[in-house]
Amino acid sequence: MYQFPFISAIGTAVPPYKISQKLHYSILESANGMGRKEKLQLRKVYSGCGIEARHSVLDDFGKTDQTDNVLFFPSNHHAAMPVSGRMNLYEHYALGLSEKAVIQCMEKLPSLLPSHITHLITFSCTGMSAPGLDIQLVERLGLSRSVERTCINFMGCYAGINAMKTAYHISRSEPNAVVLLTGVELCTLHYQKNEKEDQIIANALFGDGASACIISSQRIPSVNDSPALSLKSFYAEFEPGEKEEMAWRIGDYGFDLRLSSYVPGLLKKSIPAFIAKLFSRANIKQEDIDFFAFHPGGVRILEACEAALNISKKENEIAYHVLHDYGNMSSVTIFFVLKIFLESFTSEDIGKKILACAFGPGLTMESMLAEVC
């Protein structure tokens, strides 16, 4: 009998510098050269973002304007850092943060050794190089040099679900596969000071983080033999007429985000039909879903999901919790949500179903159905 692949454990990590949203706002508001219009935009975005704190690999964002700051120069005393400099910072910090998430994940599976890993999938949209994070992790973790490596780059916030889908297909085709997924997003490296609404929103929402998980066709025993997640079905599509409403491009002085204010409304309109196709493929109904795990792209995104599926904020509270504590960490954020769910499950939850969704450039919608087992 065919057995669906399992998520046996999830690990997450954030860098050491915790940025109070109130402090960051006060520093920006007092910055020299910021006009009245920009301050009003800033106040509007920060007051409704639902974020208490974020994390960064840099300590710039908790300090006032100082000459030793790397990126954050509110008084414009220094020229903006070019993309090459930001990529150097990414290479410097990404490995350590990703490794931290992997170690946390593997510690939950005491029988799993590095030599058991047959496939490695890395994903990120905030930095890249070759040789890159995949080879660095093979060397740092002591994985086999013949491990099969797949790199998923620049897909945006939905890349985490895409990575799980890739591991799902690998596990279905290779019964002995043990797939390590790890993603790292250093969003704060792309801080840019300008008056564009898109950039003000990005500066207010995004933080740094990393995640890791193990997916395999054979369930791997975890500490205390806690429940796992069985991956059942995936579905993705994009809205062809809305490609420019959310976009992510490489600019001269960082990666440039295009995030239209229309995105929540577009999602609210598009999600019902999108989810109906997922349910149809899986031969289930929404009433069969017990838990909802949405990518917390922002408060308005979460509210749009609730309205589209007619669910309560209470049913979506874990996503709000992650947004509140960490901000939007792009593709790795969905794993922070799923980890909280996974660690809260008990034997009484066996057989219950969870729906996970994430959204990104395209306008792309990715979804996953899983069952507690």
Alpha-carbon span 57 to 96, nearest angstrom: 10
User: Residue 259 forms beta bridges with which residues?
Assistant: 246
Length of the chain: 373
CA of 29: how far to CAs of 68, 69, 203, 370, in Å?
Answer: 20, 18, 13, 44
Alpha-carbon span 42 to 63, nearest angstrom: 18
- Contact between 330 and 126 (Cβ < 8 Å): yes
Alpha-carbon span 271 to 44, nearest angstrom: 27
Catalytic residue among 157, 187, 213, 305: 157
Residue 282 burial class via C-beta count within 10 angstroms: exposed 0-12, middle 13-18, buried 19 and up: middle
Q: Active-site residue 105, yes or no? A: no
CA angle 352, 357, 360 (to 5 degrees): 170
**Bridge pairing between strands 208-216 and 148-153:** unpaired
As annotated, the active-site residues are 157
